[in-house]
């Protein structure tokens, strides 16, 4: 009797395993007659933008997006204008053109206002010192657009 129970249990176990394996194998084939449905779409990869030179006033950015139908990837470089201005001014100063170097820096409103507050106005069309100050006061529209000091002073004087 014990032997018969073991044989019956083993037979049932073989049947259960056989049925389960057929079900599992049936799930692996997910194809229809025209379309294969078990393939993933390709992935969009963001391009790598390499800027190796540390003496370049640029930074890089890239991005990618992927849907089930369409993928898009792009990259750009962004120029840092203030960095360029500093490098140009340094070069002009190094070549002995100190007034031109200061004039380059004075295109930044913060530098322009700081120079004005320090009592050393930025060069104006080749003139420096008191002549430059008179030039800026008579032509405030030539000052950098974000500058506060010259435009306020001219408005108060005229008003």
Of 32, 57, 79, the residue at which a domain comes to its end is: 79
**Do 103 and 115 belong together in one domain?**
yes
Domains held by the chain: number: 2
**Do 99 and 144 belong together in one domain?**
yes
124 touches 137 (CB < 8 A): no
**Do 98 and 127 belong together in one domain?**
yes
Instruction: Give the separation between CA 40 and CA 71, rounded to whole angstroms.
Output: 13
Answer whether residue 93 is part of any domain.
Answer: yes
Q: Which two tokens stand for residue 120?
A: 């050393």
pLDDT at site 24: 46
Residue-wise pLDDT tens digits, 27-70? 455 555 666 566 666 676 666 666 666 677 888 888 888 887 88
């Amino acid at each position: 009797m014990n032997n018969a129970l073991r044989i019956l249990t083993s037979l049932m176990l073989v049947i259960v395993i056989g049925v389960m394996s057929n079900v599992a194998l049936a799930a692996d084939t997910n194809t229809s007659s025209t379309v294969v449905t078990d393939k993933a779409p390709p992935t969009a990869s963001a391009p790598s933008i390499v800027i190796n030179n540390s003496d370049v006033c640029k930074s890089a950015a890239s991005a990618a997006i992927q849907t089930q139908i369409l993928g898009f990837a792009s990259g750009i470089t962004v120029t840092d204008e203030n960095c360029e201005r500093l490098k140009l001014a340094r070069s002009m100063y190094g070549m002995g053109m100190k007034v031109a170097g200061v004039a380059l820096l004075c295109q930044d409103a913060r530098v322009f206002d700081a120079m004005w507050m320090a009592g050393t106005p930025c060069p104006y069309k080749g003139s420096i010192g008191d002549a430059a100050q008179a030039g800026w006061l008579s032509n405030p529209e030539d000052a950098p657009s974000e500058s506060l000091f010259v435009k306020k002073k001219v408005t108060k004087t005229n008003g």
